[in-house]
């Protein structure tokens, strides 16, 4: 063996060894949802809620701005997809116009009663896009903190408003809990309960009763929010609680709270569940940043001076009403309420991961057991091995000893493919296994092109070394062109596909790269090695 052949053989064995390291033992290979079992969700961001949330936030900021400008008597309320400003006299219109100048993303129209401002179309689109990106980021955080191994979370849809979540290995018992974590925004707000609400901690029994108390219309700058019955409330009432009943929430009471938000979830730096040493009940402790701590001190100061309750609102539902006897400095807050251990853990997880600007709607929900995945693996592997065996028989029968060259190249191809999949930490799906079988079939096509060209050169009277040289040289660009075409197709499938389609695209991409390497480099090396051992050969079995 010449020095050149020795180094080529060493390089081939080194590449195969490195690739084998990434997939041996086979437990290193990551299995997709369809092979391992788990759950698949497709969600849609309710992006219009992001616009509504921005309207509420802007109403608070605008109300504060008007007070600074001496328009304390003016009121700001949300009216559909606009904000209505009332209580401004004709003499105060210039001041109002100047105040509205700070809200450049809103278009203003004026009338005798005041003004109406509407978010511009471009600003609404920006809010919707941001809601989708934020939802994707927060879902990833929540799933990772929940402890699901190797989740697949991707955006889809023309406008990116859909999110596909695949969670391998998740049991049926965890499914509802994860579904709840994914669907709720986790938007925490701390507000003051209205002075006009005399219902106390329990609130009004129904929304109709609350409206009747306020003569059919809630006062300006306030709104009615529900407080839901918790698992602990149901247990106190002696009712049986099942996991499936969690979706059937019942209203415990209605509270009139001010629209102004003093502290929101964006000010939270940490959150965790704790146990009250006196009552042995679960509660949530969270820490605020400096701005949040200052705002919380202001909130507790007002509540203590005026003898009012602080309403803790999560996703526009009151979770707790707290009394406060004195101003509380610092950034540590403890929320007590009717929390079960699981509810408190999920509550804290939502606060730590941040709040979405919009809720999620479930479009599709599927689950697959591990037994079905095992059957899929057996069927897929059997099909791939059967296809590989048919290829071996055909190549040896039709191209004789040169067919063994192709079989050796295909074996190296398979090793390189598995190694690349393992090194990229890619997930193997059932369509991915189909991609393996397809790639092996297409990989042998390059060898067929080479062998047929060598046959033609031999028939033309060329020697064996010249025929091999011409065979590889003349089909080189044909092979490259065909593989690059496949590569572009695989890239498009990866970019625009989701879930199993992406698994197929990854396998096809890896297969194209491996096939290009083995058909040109490995097959040529085998021929060169044979010619070195038999330098005067006059015939070639092809």
Q: How far apart are CA 20 and CA 422, in angstroms?
A: 9
Token digits of residue 435: 């991609």
Burial class (CB in 10 A: 0-12, 13-18, 19+), 267: buried
Residue tagged 């100047």 (tokens): 98
Domain-by-domain residue ranges, the chain?
3-36+370-533, 51-121, 184-367
Q: How far apart are CA 109 and CA 220, in angstroms?
A: 21
Q: How far apart are CA 301 and CA 190, in angstroms?
A: 13
How far from each other are the two terminal CA atoms of the chain, in whole angstroms? 23
Strands (E), 138-242: 152-156, 162-168, 188-192, 222-228
Q: Where are the alpha helices (DSSP H) in 172-259?
A: 172-183, 207-213, 231-236
CA angle 20, 21, 27 (to 5 degrees): 90
Looking at domain 3-36+370-533, which CATH architecture does it have? Up-down Bundle (1.20)
3-class secondary-structure state, position 224: strand
Question: Looking at residue 331, what DSSP letter applies?
Answer: S
Q: Choose among 285, 367, 349: nearest CA to 320.
A: 285
pTM score of the predicted model: 0.58
CA angle 6, 10, 12 (to 5 degrees): 120
Q: What is the pLDDT of residue 243?
A: 41
Residues whose CB falls within 8 Å of the CB of residue 183, separated by 6 or more in sequence, listed in order: 43, 359, 360, 361, 362
3-36+370-533 and 51-121, same CATH topology: no
3-class secondary-structure state, position 107: strand
Looking at domain 51-121, which CATH architecture does it have? 2-Layer Sandwich (3.30)
pLDDT truncated to tens, each residue of the chain (542 aa)?
A: 678 878 888 888 898 888 888 888 766 777 776 777 778 888 888 888 889 888 988 888 888 888 888 888 888 888 888 999 988 888 888 888 888 888 888 998 888 778 899 999 999 998 888 888 888 888 887 777 766 656 778 887 767 788 888 887 776 667 777 887 787 777 888 899 998 888 888 889 999 999 999 988 888 888 999 988 765 554 455 554 444 444 456 888 999 999 888 888 777 777 777 887 777 777 778 788 888 888 888 988 998 999 899 898 888 888 888 888 888 887 777 776 666 777 777 777 777 666 777 888 888 888 776 655 667 677 777 877 887 888 888 888 888 888 888 888 888 888 888 888 888 777 777 777 777 777 777 778 888 888 889 889 888 888 888 888 888 888 888 888 888 888 888 888 888 776 667 778 888 888 888 888 888 888 888 888 888 887 777 777 87
Question: HEC string of 66-100?
Answer: HHHCCCCCCEEEEECCEEEEECCCHHHHHHHHHHH
Residues whose CB falls within 8 Å of the CB of residue 117, separated by 6 or more in sequence, listed in order: 62, 82, 83, 85, 100, 103, 106, 107, 108, 109
Q: What is the pLDDT of residue 245?
A: 43
Q: What is the pLDDT of residue 354?
A: 66
3-class secondary-structure state, position 353: helix
Pick the CATH number of 184-367 from 3.65.10.10, 3.30.1360.200, 3.40.50.970, 3.40.50.300: 3.30.1360.200
Q: What is the pLDDT of residue 1?
A: 67
């Amino acid at each position: 063996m010449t020095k050149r052949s020795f180094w080529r053989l060493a390089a081939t064995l080194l590449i195969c060894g490195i690739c084998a390291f990434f997939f041996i033992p086979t437990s290193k290979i990551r299995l997709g949802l369809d092979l391992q079992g788990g759950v698949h969700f497709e969600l849609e961001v309710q992006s219009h809620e992001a616009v509504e949330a921005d309207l509420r936030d802007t109403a608070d900021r605008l109300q504060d701005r008007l007070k600074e400008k001496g328009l304390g008597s003016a009121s700001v309320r949300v009216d559909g997809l606009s904000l209505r400003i009332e209580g401004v006299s004709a003499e105060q219109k210039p001041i109002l116009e100047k105040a509205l100048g700070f809200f450049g993303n809103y278009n203003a129209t004026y009338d005798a009663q005041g003004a109406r401002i509407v978010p511009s179309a471009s600003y609404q689109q920006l809010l919707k896009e941001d809601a989708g990106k934020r939802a994707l980021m927060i879902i990833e955080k929540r799933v990772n903190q929940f402890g699901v191994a190797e989740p697949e979370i991707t955006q889809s849809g023309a406008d990116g408003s859909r999110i596909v979540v695949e969670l391998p290995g998740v049991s049926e018992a965890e499914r509802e809990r994860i579904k709840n974590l994914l669907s709720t925004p986790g938007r925490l707000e701390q507000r003051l309960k209205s002075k006009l609400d005399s219902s106390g901690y329990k609130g009004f029994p129904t929304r109709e009763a609350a409206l009747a108390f306020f003569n059919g219309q809630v006062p300006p700058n306030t709104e009615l929010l529900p407080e839901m019955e918790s698992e602990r409330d149901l247990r106190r009432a002696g009712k049986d609680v099942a996991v499936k009943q969690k979706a059937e929430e019942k209203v415990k009471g209605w509270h009139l709270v001010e629209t102004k938000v003093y502290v929101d979830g964006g000010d939270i730096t940490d959150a965790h569940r704790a146990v009250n040493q006196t009552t042995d009940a679960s509660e949530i402790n969270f820490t605020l940043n400096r701005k949040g701590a200052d705002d919380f001190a202001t909130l507790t100061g007002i509540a203590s001076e005026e003898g009012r309750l602080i309403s803790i609102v999560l996703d526009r539902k009151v979770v707790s009403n707290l009394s406060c006897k004195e101003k509380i400095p610092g950034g540590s807050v403890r929320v007590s309420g009717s929390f079960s251990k699981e509810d408190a853990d999920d509550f804290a997880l939502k606060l730590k991961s941040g709040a979405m600007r919009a809720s999620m709607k479930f479009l599709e929900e599927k689950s697959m057991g591990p037994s079905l995945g095992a059957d899929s693996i057996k069927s897929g592997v059997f099909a791939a091995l059967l296809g590989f065996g048919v290829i071996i028989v055909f190549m040896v029968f039709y191209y004789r000893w040169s067919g063994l060259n192709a079989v050796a190249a295909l074996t190296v191809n398979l090793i390189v493919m598995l190694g690349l999949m393992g090194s990229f930490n890619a997930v193997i799906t059932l369509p991915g296994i189909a991609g393996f079988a397809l790639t092996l079939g297409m990989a042998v096509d390059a060898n067929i092109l080479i062998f047929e060209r060598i046959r033609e050169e031999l028939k033309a009277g060329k020697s064996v070394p010249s025929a091999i040289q011409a065979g590889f040289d003349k089909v080189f660009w044909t092979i490259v062109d065909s593989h690059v075409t496949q590569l572009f197709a695989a890239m498009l499938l990866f970019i625009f596909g989701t879930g199993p389609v992406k698994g197929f695209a990854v396998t096809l991409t890896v297969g194209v790269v491996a096939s290009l390497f083995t058909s040109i480099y490995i097959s040529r090396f085998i021929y060169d090695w044979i010619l070195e051992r038999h330098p005067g050969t006059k015939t070639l079995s092809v």
